[in-house]
Amino acid sequence: MPSPSAEGELEALRGELERLRERIDDLALGVLRDAVEAGEERRPELERRLTRARNAVVRAIGALGGLGEE
């Protein structure tokens, strides 16, 4: 089990990752909104890359969340 100071650091990292996930979500939605307004019929490549990045961040959040349970 991690020490109390390590637990605090892990929680801080998890919070930063959560905020990053939210920023990626906002950016991806903006890209999609712009594409719809421009009449595009396919998902923009940038939105696809942002979605992959968001999924990686979500996996990192899950990995950090599981550390305190060991």
Chain segment 3-52, per-residue pLDDT in tens? 878 889 999 999 999 999 999 999 999 999 999 999 999 999 999 999 99
Region 45-62: mean pLDDT is 97
Domain count, the chain: 1
Q: Which is more confidently placed, 28 or 2?
A: 28
Q: Which domain holds residue 39?
A: 4-67
Q: At what angle do helices 4-37 and 45-67 cross, to 10 degrees?
A: 160
Q: At 65, is the pLDDT very low, low, confident or very high (cuts 50, 70, 90)?
A: confident
Cβ contacts of 17-23, under 8 Å, gap ≥ 24: 17/57, 17/60, 17/61, 17/64, 18/61, 20/57, 21/54, 21/57, 21/58, 21/61
Predicted confidence at residue 6, as pLDDT, reads 87
